[in-house]
Chain A
Amino acid sequence: MIYRMSSLVALAVLASGCVATNYTLVEPGARAVAGLQVNATSGWNQAPPMSTPSMQKGAVLWTHDGPLLDQLIIIPGVADGEPLMKSSNKSAAMPLFKKDMLPNEIEELTESTFVKYFGEGNAVVTTKNLRPQRFGENRGVMFDVDATVSDSPKYRGTAGAFVANDKLYMMFFLGAVPHYFDKHAATATSVIQSAMLTGGSSTAATN
């Protein structure tokens, strides 16, 4: 009965238009995402929060051809002791960000988070090509991601991350291989590399 009541309430809220359920257009140009500024060199479609329940508050998912085929996720300001993504399952053992993480650990954090994101046991995620990268005045890292997911296309991607004010800022792109990764990798990478804090810099992931 409780389930039925909450479903009815959810339907009523949706019908009232109080919750955004549609994709919204992200115009090309400088865009602000919760304390971060990125430069979108092309237009993107931003997914409604309801379709991204595992995303942290303030995080956004942009796509060109739909999240199954390509997705650019921007996660701003993950605090010390917090996971990159949420899970309603208390036994999910989500990996947590620690403010003193070094590049190799941020890479591992991302890898393990992706495994949980796709479903533990449903995906094998590997990373490579860890390299330094500047994000505005902050030093950070980039690396490449490969994800093999059960009953899904194979994904390839690129991630960028930096730590500022003891918080982790992460941007990553995943595209189905070969077509959708090749199609959007350049524009997604330019968005990732353009990321910078809107309010100055501090500690960096490569310190």
Chain B
Amino acid sequence: MRQPRTVVLLACLLAYWPVFGAESETLDHRIPPGYEPVEAEDELGLWMEMREYEQALKQSALLVRDPGLNDYLQEIVCRVAAGYCKDFRVYLIRNPDFNASMTATGMMQVWTGLIVRANSTDEIAAVIGHEISHYTLLHSLATLRALKKKLATGTFVDIALILATGYGTGLGQTMAALSVMSFSREQETEADLLGVRLLAEAGYDPHASYGIWDKIIAEEEAAEVKREKPGAFGKTHPEAKLRAAYLKELVTARYGPPDAEAVADQRLLSVLNNNYMLLMEDQLDTNRYGRTKELLERHAALGVEPSLVRYFYGEMFRQRGSDGDRDLAKSAYLHSIELGKAPAKAYSNLGYLYLKAGDMESAKTYFVKYLEIDPDASDREMIEFYLED
């Protein structure tokens, strides 16, 4: 006998079937490359607002300007977008949560949390393909027009425009505005379907389209503090489990089963290794240990520099501070050091752990080592206080 949850899932899949059945075969871009509106007043207004918003975004202190990271994303965008490549500008935002968004004008925002959560470049490409599809399917304009129909004329139309464009809201609040005017489920499914096609045509693995959602589901299940409300991406998109299920069904039917052996993604590994401290320190500051632990387990399996992964295990256990965590943190720091590429902070934080345990001799050993490795450490005065104490 089927479990009730399975029955519900199957019912939902059947509900989606007409969309990704016959219709998905004919689904195609609704605008040509280089598209710009010329006549429709509301569309011209939307573009004007978004261009102003983009100018403001360019000044944001939260933009990640690292050329390596930006080149990596730009390459993915151009490969997936193919002939539409020049229509997009990508902005990488320093935000540890999982999200990406696209405006009617081709301004794409990707949060650093997406890079931390992807197991492959293909998975990042899957999200980007989905966002590109929103653009070429003119979803923002359709949503704006649907919203205008619902609202009265005059001031309310302006409000609709603000909600639709995100103009006038904070960078972080843009997603909240998007959630208010969220794309319809049908639009999301359309973007998924066209996104899968773009992904496959670009030579990426189409199975990555549901793989990324499997990761989000696993992370949510590992969370010690569940989200009261879904995040912005969850709010504007169909439920992750349902989405992963129908995409898996579609991709397997159309492209066959996934390759049995996954090949390590050296490009993603290089990007992660080069930016791991920044990416994971932001994640740690969220104080969400279950999620952080899940990400670390994934990074360890992926082959991210083991010294760094062990170091962040140490950070996570030490900051969580549950029963037995101090020992786990100590082991993780020692392992990080043993592997040869531990950050200097592994030594000072190990010293603090010994200090807490009352082992002053070991504490001082690691504090001394810390200052040897990082003589210009900004907390030198604090460490010297303990060495002299």
Q: Footprint of B on A, CB under 8 Å?
A: 89-95, 98, 100, 102-105, 108, 111-112, 115-116, 119-122, 124-125, 128-132, 141, 143, 148, 150-151, 154, 206
In the complex, the chain A residue whose C-beta lies closest to that of B96 is A121
Contact B382 A93 (CB under 8 A): no
Which one of B137-145, B152-160, B221-229 is at the A interface? B221-229
Does B355 interact with chain A (Cβ within 8 Å)? yes
Considering residues B226, B227, B284, B379, which has the most beta carbons from chain A within 10 angstroms of its beta carbon?
B379
Residues of B82-101 whose CB lies within 8 A of A: 94-97
Q: Which residues of A lie under 8 Å from residue B15 when comparing CB positions?
A: none
CB-CB under 8 A from B352, the residues of chain A are 102, 104-105
Residues of A within 8 A of B62 (CB): 124, 148, 150
Tell me the interface secondary structure of chain B in the complex.
loop
Q: A102-B356, A108-B319, A130-B381 are known; give 10 further A-B pairs, CB within 8 A.
A: A91-B227, A93-B224, A93-B225, A94-B287, A100-B356, A121-B96, A121-B97, A122-B170, A122-B171, A131-B382
Closest to B288 in A: A93
**Known A-B contacts A91-B228, A93-B288, A115-B286; A121 and B379 likewise in contact (beta carbons under 8 Å):** no
Give the number of A-B contacts (CB < 8 Å).
90
> Residue B6 at the A interface, CB < 8 A?
no
Q: Is the CB of A104 within 8 A of B348?
A: yes
Contact of B172 among A90, A119, A132 (CB under 8 A): A119
Residues of A within 8 A of B286 (CB): 93, 112, 115, 120
Q: How far is the CA of A128 from the CA of B378 in the complex (A)?
A: 6
B274: interface (CB < 8 Å): no
Residues of B within 8 A of A (CB): 60-62, 94-97, 111, 170-173, 224-229, 282, 284-288, 318-319, 321, 348-349, 352, 355-356, 378-379, 381-382, 385-386
Cα(A82)–Cα(B111), bound, Å: 31
Neighbouring A residues of B95 by C-beta, 8 Å? 121-122
Q: Once bound together, how far apart are the Cα atoms of A154 and B61, in whole Å?
A: 8
Of A94, A151, A154, most buried by chain B (CB within 10 Å of CB) is: A151
Measured CA separation A111–B226 after assembly (Å): 22
| Chain A residues with CB below 8 A from B228, complex form | 89-91
Q: Which residues of B contact A141 (CB under 8 A)?
A: 382
B382 touches A95 (CB 8 A): no
Determine the chain B residues whose CB is within 8 A of the CB of A151 once the complex forms: 60, 170-173
Q: How far is the CA of A100 from the CA of B357 in the complex (A)?
A: 11
State whether A132 and B385 are in contact (beta carbons under 8 Å apart), knowing that A91-B226, A102-B352, A104-B352 are contacts in the complex: yes
Minimum CB–CB distance from B141 to chain A (whole Å) comes to: 25
Docked CA distance A115–B226 (Å):
18
| Cα-based distance from A131 to B319 in the complex (angstroms) | 20
Nearest A residue to B172, CB-CB = A122
